[in-house]
Amino acid sequence: MVSGNKGARKGRAWRVAGLGLVVVALLGLLAACGGSDATATPTAVTSSSADTGSTADTSDTGDTSDTGDTGDTGDTVTSGDTADTVAFADKEFEFTIPSQRFYSWHPVTLKRLVEDKLPNVMLTIADFRTPELLVDIDRNPEKMATHFSQTSARDWIAVAAGEKAFPSSVPIPDSIPQVVWTIYPWSQMMINTVASTGVNSIFDMDGLRVRIGNDPDTLSGRIYQEIIADAGVKPRWVVTTENGAQGVINGSFVAASSGMINQLNAAIDWFTLSQQDQMRMIDFDKESILALQKKHPTWSYLEIVPMCNDAVVTAMGLPYDIIDPNYKASMSDDIPGENCLATMAGHTVNELAWPAADEEAIYWITKTMLENREELQAVFPGAPFSGQIFADRLGHTIDAQDTFHPGAARAFEEMGITYGIEGIHEWLKERTDPLQWWKDYLP
C-alpha cells in the first residue's frame, strides 16, 4: 500500500506539473499577442532639452549635444527606460530672438503669430547683435538652447570652413548655429552712392572716402577691402558708426557699403535716400569677382549676382536710372537688353538656432511662421509685390539645406516650400526666365 500510494502521488504530481507548463505556455502566447501593439508604436523619451518629444519624428539623428541620451535615437523606448512621454503641447518653451533696427517688423510679427497659435511658446525680443551674444554664450553656454542669432549667411559659412568671420575678441563656440529661416532672403553685398559723385564701378573709387562700417575686421569688411585692393584701387576707407546713406547725404563720404534684397530692393535707409537724391549702385565688376572666387574657392558666398537697372527701377518705383545709362555695366552681355552690374551673394539676413534648441519647438515655430506667412508678407517693407517675393523666397539663402536646423528643415519639407541654395536652384527652374525671374512678379 505504501508503495502503491507513493506511485499514485507521483502520478498526480507529474500531471499537475504538466498542467502548469501548459498554463505557462498559454500565458506566454497571450503576453506576446497582447504586447504586439506596445512594440509597434515608437515612443519618444523626453530625457533632455534637445529631445524632440515627437512620436512621428524619424529625422532625429541623436544629436551629440544631448548628453543625457547619447545612444538613444529619440524614436523608441528601450528596456530600462522609465521616463514618461510628454507631448509637445504639455511642455513650455521660452526663446529670445534679436531685433535690430530695420529688421524689427519680422520678430514683432513672429512673436504675435507664435504666441497666438502656440500658447506654450513664449518669444522674448531683445536688441543684441551676434558678437554680443557669442560673448554671453561663452560665459553662459546653456543659452545656446534658448537664444536665436541673427547674422548674414556668409559669416557662419566661413566659420564652418575654419575661416575668420568675427573680430578676434569674439569667442567662437565649437557648436555652430543652424539656419531656421531668413528675414531678408537672397540679399546681395553692395556699395552705393549718388549720381553727383560720378562713381559707377569700384575702379572709380581710387582716393575717395568710402564708408566700410564700424569694424573693418569683419568678414564683409575684409571682402570689400580685398576685392577692391586686388583691382588696384585704393579708396580712403572710413570706419564710423554713422549711417551709410545719411553720411553720403551729409557729405561725410562719397559711398558706403550696404545691401540689396532679392536683386531688386535697396535696404530701407538707401530706399529713403533714393527718394531724396539719385541713388547709384556701384559695379563690383564681374572679372574682379571671378578672380576673388579663384583666390578663395571655399568662399561660396561670393557667387556672382546680376543687378539690372530696369528691374530695380521698376521695383523701387524710381523716376531715374539707378545705373548710369552712359556706363555699360559688367554683366550687360549676360542679360541682353538690360544694363546689369555684378555683385556678390551671401548677404542674406538669416535667423539661426543652435543644435541644442529643442527640435520639436523649432519645428512648430517654423511651421507656424510658414502657415501664416501672408501676415509677414503684409508688413514686409516695400511695394506689395516685394512682400509676395518675400513670402515665396523666405527660405532662400546661400546656405546648403544640410546647414538648416532639423526642426526648421522638417517644416519646410512638409510645407513643400523651397529653402537653401538647393531650393533656389529648384525655384529658378520654375520661372519663366530664370535669368530675369523678377518678370514673374514686377507689374
Tens of each residue's pLDDT in the chain, 443 residues: 333 443 443 444 444 444 444 343 434 443 444 443 433 333 333 333 333 333 333 333 334 343 334 344 444 433 333 344 578 989 999 999 998 766 788 999 999 999 999 999 999 999 999 999 999 999 999 999 999 999 999 999 999 999 999 988 999 999 999 999 999 899 999 999 999 999 999 999 999 999 998 888 889 999 999 999 999 999 999 999 999 999 999 999 999 999 999 999 998 889 999 999 999 999 999 999 999 999 999 999 999 999 999 999 999 999 999 999 999 999 999 998 999 999 999 899 999 999 999 999 999 999 999 999 999 999 988 777 888 999 999 999 999 999 999 999 999 999 999 999 999 999 999 999 999 999 999 98
Q: Where are the beta strands (DSSP E) in 156-272?
A: 178-184, 187-194, 209-213, 236-239, 255-261, 265-266
Whether the CB-CB separation of 192 and 269 falls below 8 Å is answered with no
Calpha distance 138→174 (Å, rounded): 10
Choose the final residue of a domain: 319, 344, 369: 344
Rounded Cα distance between 394 and 417, Å, is 9
Mark out the alpha helices in 35-97 (DSSP H runs). 36-40
Kindly state whether residues 151 and 241 are assigned to the same domain.
no
pLDDT value, residue 221: 92
Coil, helix or strand at residue 102: helix
Q: Is residue 46 part of a domain?
A: no
Backbone phi, then psi, for 400, in 5-degree steps?
Answer: -75, 155
User: Coil, strand or helix: which one is 229?
Assistant: helix
Whether residue 368 contacts residue 113, with contact meaning beta carbons closer than 8 Å, is answered with yes
d(CA 43, CA 74): 8
Please check whether residues 356 and 436 belong to one and the same domain. Answer: yes
Domain end residue (candidates: 326, 344, 362): 344
Q: How many domains does the chain have?
A: 2
AA letter at 357: A
Residue 379 lies in a domain: yes
The whole-angstrom separation of Cα 421 and Cα 178 is 14
Question: Cα–Cα distance between 370 and 181 in angstroms, integer?
Answer: 10
85 in a domain, yes or no?
Answer: no
pLDDT computed for residue 218 by the predictor? 87
Does residue 178 sit in the same domain as residue 103? yes
Question: Within this chain, do residues 129 and 148 fall inside the same structural domain, yes or no?
Answer: yes
Q: What is the pLDDT of residue 86?
A: 73
Quick check: is 154 in a domain? yes
- As a whole number of angstroms, the distance between CA 277 and CA 196 comes to 9
* Cβ within 8 Å of residue 125, ≥6 positions away: 96, 97, 98, 99, 107, 108, 111
Q: Are residues 357 and 332 in the same domain?
A: no
Question: 344, 378, 413: which is the final residue of a domain?
Answer: 344
> Considering only CA atoms, which of 332, 314, 334, 185 is closest in space to residue 262?
185
Whether residues 298 and 152 fall in one domain: no
Instruction: Please give the C-alpha separations between residue 407 and each of 411, 413, 419, in angstroms, as whole numbers.
Output: 6, 10, 13
Q: Could you give the CA distance from residue 182 to residue 401 in angstroms, rounded to a whole number?
A: 13
Same domain, yes or no, for 362 and 339? no
Amino acid at 368: T
Q: How many CB atoms lie within 10 A of CB 59?
A: 15
Same domain? For 294 and 367 the reply is: no
Q: How many C-beta neighbours within 10 Å does residue 176 have?
A: 14
* Residues 97 and 171 occupy one common structural domain: yes
Q: Residue 16 is placed in which grid cell?
A: 499537475
Whole-number Å distance between alpha carbons of 70 and 29: 35
> How would you label 306-318 residue by residue, b for 16+ Cβ within 10 Å and e otherwise?
bbbbbbbbbbbeb
| Grid cell at residue 291 | 578672380
Residue 63 lies in a domain: no
Residues 411 and 312 in one domain: no
The span from the CA of 394 to the CA of 32, in Å, is 50
Q: Looking at the structure, do residues 136 and 169 belong to the same domain, yes or no?
A: yes
The grid cell for 377 is 508678407
- The pLDDT mean for the chain works out to 84
Residue 385 carries which side chain, given as an amino acid letter? F
State the residue range of the domain holding 336: 187-344
At 178, give phi and psi (nearest 5°). -115, 145
State the angle between helix axes of 219-230 and 286-295 in degrees (0 to 180), rounded to the nearest 10: 110
The verdict on residue 328 lying in a domain is yes
Q: Is residue 430 part of a domain?
A: yes
Angle at alpha carbon of residue 307, lines to 352 and 240, rounded to 5° = 60
CA distances from 81 to 44, 54, 76, 77, 85 (A): 10, 16, 10, 6, 11
Distance CA 372, CA 442 (A): 23
Which CATH number fits the domain that encloses residue 232? 3.40.190.10
Q: Angle at CA 183, nearest 5°, toward 411 and 152?
A: 105
| Position 4 in a domain | no
pLDDT recorded at residue 81 = 38
Grid cell locating 2: 505504501
Give per-residue burial for 277-298: e unless 16+ CB within 10 Å, then b. Answer: bbbbbbbbbbebbeebeeebee
Are both 204 and 323 inside the same structural domain? yes
